[in-house]
Amino acid sequence: MPEKTKIRWDVYHKYDELTKVLHELAAAHPDLCRLYSIGPTYQGREIWCLEITNLATGPAGDKPGFQIDGNTHGGEVTGCATALYNAHYLLSNYGDDDFVTELLDTRAIYVIPRVAADGAEYYLTTPHAVRSSMRPFPYSDEEWLETDGLYPDDVDGDGWVLQMRVEDYEGEWKVSSKDQRLMRKREPGDQVGPFYRLYPEGLIRNYKGGEIKLAPPRYNLDFNRNWPSNFAVTQDGAGPYPLCEPENRALAEFWRDHPNLTGVMTYHTFSGVIIRTFVTKPDTEMDDRDLAAYRAIGKIGTEITGYESVSVFEGLTLDKKNPRHGNSKDWWYQDLGAYVFCIELWSLAEKAGVKVTDFIGFLTSREEQDDVKLLQYNDETLDGQGFEPWRPFDHPQLGRVELGGWKFKYTWQNPPPHMLLGEIERTHLFCLKHAALSPLVRITSTETSSLGNGLYQVSATVCNEGWLSTNLTQQAIKLGIARPVTVRIDIPDGAELLGGSRVTDVGHLEGKWSTTGGLFGARPARHERVVEWLVQVPDDAGSHEVTVTSRSQKGGRDSATVVLWD
């Protein structure tokens, strides 16, 4: 057997490195996982999936499944690393850690570490950043090359696209009195310069002097605006129609082909917050029971990670009239009836001791003292590596400018590589704890009694041992997609079923979560059913074995065999 896989957690893996590590993991644990591609990306890279479960206790498809994905956005490479860590953690702790062992014996975990494999490669191997896809959008490359304006570029060839500041008496910016590196917005009525204009580092197509406008982005597709739920073509980055991108289609088809999936963790960056549905509506629009379960699971996340749990609409939408459309979280809950969480991993602000209450507003407008703290953190803890001090540069079009600013990729958007493991260790357990809350339907007992003359009474108790109900959510019931639990009996050749059905629909089995009350007496969860049959087995029947099989789309499959003898 190959050696246990060694993975570095202080680097962000490029595509070939990631591919190699995933193959090594799969080869080292053939009893626990399979590696396959769920589809090629726009540029032809594989979107890898590690399917992890103990194969000795049944195939993945017969168990409740849970999806962990990362790197839907090209630059959010911490998400890929955290998903990869989940996989490695499960595979290397199976047999030693009781929680992991139980999880893989009873559930299937599907880890899709890098959805935007093209965008991530561009991000990791060039000075540039990209939202998701390398498909030019909304302009073709030919059209885009004819658009006017400033486009980001590494004009001094130092490997970073930073910022340019250009002194201009009409400028909107001024140097902070608290830190010479810090730019503050010019106060109303301030006529005492110097003032500056701020631009992304770049070149200007068709520049004829005067006001500099920004060119449109070259790759503006956003996979997380391309989902069918609440899709809006007016949404920035949505694309022309839902699931138009192969990466989205691959994930949608993955759900079609894995009806056992019960929930999702989708890793993004950044901000240090756990987010959930709804994205387009307030919490009051959600079924009360679903909302309560969402809050209860989110609370587990907060206890593990220290990150607050909020809905995207309630906690991360500044303009409630303009929520984000076509988001994966809405699709998985609103249309597929599963609980889905996202962690916006990593918060530079939190590390720097800045308390953020408005996660979105903080990105565009901060108190001066907060910016000062962030720079102090850069100086004292990051050894000054995160912020490039302004330095003069002779720009080919603008003349003397200054280049500098935050090295955004590995300060704000992702941890500096040496801090990656700390962020992963802090957050990775939440999704595994969520996965373990799925319904789990078991045949917990069988009884037989002989009524004489080859007639037998057979009964089986089928029980949901999980925390969530077999329908997962009330939303799934509302949608009409929640499949009831069925119990089937298989009798030997020559035997006859005189009472009961070959397949019995026992409806939904509640989970432990479904109990209500307390002060005035609790209503116990309706978590089990007893199914009974009458079977006539002649003495000369080929076999006297009867098999009872329970099937739950979200709670897995179980079977028990009983032998009928007088």
Task: Enumerate binding residues for Zn ion (CB under 5 A).
Answer: 73, 76, 268
CB of 132 to Zn ion, least distance (A): 9
Q: Residue 278 in contact with residue 334, Cβ under 8 Å? A: yes
Query: Residue 556: left (phi > 0), alpha (psi -120 to 50), or beta?
Result: left
Query: Residue 494: left (phi > 0), alpha (psi -120 to 50), or beta?
Result: left
Nearer to Zn ion, 73 or 557 (CB): 73
Nearer to Zn ion, 76 or 290 (CB): 76
Q: What is the 3-state secondary structure (H, E, C) of 485-509?
A: EEEEEECCCCCEEEECCCEEEEECC
Nearer to Zn ion, 315 or 337 (CB): 315
d(CA 552, CA 486): 7
Nearer to Zn ion, 73 or 225 (CB): 73
Residue type for 547, please?
T
> Cβ-closest residue to Zn ion?
268
Cα–Cα distances in Å, from 295 out to 143, 282, 300? Answer: 47, 14, 9
- DSSP state at residue 201: S
CB of 268 to Zn ion, least distance (A): 3
Nearer to Zn ion, 268 or 554 (CB): 268
The continuous run of DSSP H or E covering 129 comes out as none
162: its two tokens: 């930073």
CB of 354 to Zn ion, least distance (A): 21
d(CA 429, CA 341): 13
Nearer to Zn ion, 76 or 201 (CB): 76
- DSSP state at residue 231: -
CB of 270 to Zn ion, least distance (A): 8
Residue type for 159, please?
G
Residues making up the chain, counted from first to last? 566
Count of C-beta atoms within a 10 Å radius of residue 518: 8
CB of 253 to Zn ion, least distance (A): 22
Supply angle C-alpha 528, 534, 536, rounded to 5: 145
CB of 374 to Zn ion, least distance (A): 21
Nearer to Zn ion, 106 or 413 (CB): 413
Cα–Cα distances in Å, from 502 out to 54, 115, 375? Answer: 30, 43, 70
CB of 151 to Zn ion, least distance (A): 23
Nearer to Zn ion, 107 or 268 (CB): 268
CB of 327 to Zn ion, least distance (A): 10
CB of 42 to Zn ion, least distance (A): 18
Nearer to Zn ion, 173 or 223 (CB): 223
